[in-house]
Amino acid sequence: MNKTDLPLGDVYNIEVFQVLLKYEIERSRRYPNPLSMIKIEMAPTAFVQETLRAAPAIFSTALSSHLRSSDIPARSGSLYIILLPNSDKHGTHAVCERLLSVFRNKFEDTSGNPVTFSLQMGATSHPGGTNLAGNILLEKTAEALTQSQRKGPNTYAYID
């Protein structure tokens, strides 16, 4: 299944993400490579209601265009989650900084109406190996997102 075949823009739905997460966990456990995860809470701002309805697709497309082809983005409502295979702590920080920079810009819908996005992100990484577990990645990412929410809009938090 191609990411662009989905009605969520250029990201996977959460069910497909769960399957891919299990696959990447097993691969990282067997061949110890780092695996990182970022959870994003996105809040759009626009003056036109149609633009607000189009905002998730606009965000999804922009998000995917600023990730590697091997990265795995998914969406559930206004929450996005990105799995970054072969990405360590430094790479994850770089992705978070890049996304904050990209989404400082205004975007437009197909009619030219502007939309802006406020982001809060939580991230974590694991070096790989037999002690890697998907539930721990998800828990740490959720905890980091909570820390970002305490900091305020357009921030990220990272937990080892």
Residue 69 burial class via C-beta count within 10 angstroms: exposed 0-12, middle 13-18, buried 19 and up: exposed
Angle, helix 134-151 to helix 14-30, in steps of 10 degrees: 120
Mean pLDDT of 21-47: 96
Mean pLDDT of 33-37: 97
pLDDT at 1: 38
Walk me through the domains of the chain, giving residue ranges and CATH numbers. 3-159 (3.30.70.270)
pLDDT digits (tens, 9 = 90+) for 22-32: 999 999 999 99
Tell me the C-alpha distance between 56 and 80, whole Å: 10
Nearest in space to 87 (alpha carbons), one of 38, 60, 123, 125: 125
User: How many angstroms separate the CA atoms of 85 and 107, rounded?
Assistant: 28
Q: Does the pLDDT of residue 2 top 70, yes or no?
A: no
Q: How far apart are CA 104 and CA 146, in angstroms?
A: 21
Q: Are strands 114-126 and 155-159 parallel, antiparallel or unpaired?
A: parallel
Q: What is the band of 8 on the pLDDT scale with cuts at 50, 70, 90?
A: low
CA dihedral 52, 1, 20, 153 (to 10 degrees): -10
DSSP state of 142: H
- Residue 4 in this model has a pLDDT that exceeds 90: no
**Predicted local distance difference test score (pLDDT) of residue 7:** 45
pLDDT tens-digit map of 54-87:
999 999 999 999 999 999 999 998 899 999 999 9
At residue 9, the pLDDT reads 62
pLDDT at 45 over 90: yes
Phi, psi of 48 (to 5 degrees): -110, 130
Half-sphere exposure of 54 (CA within 13 A, CB side): 18
pTM for the complete prediction?
0.92
pLDDT value of position 79: 95
CA dist 40 and 82 (Å) reads 8
Q: What is the pLDDT of residue 3?
A: 40
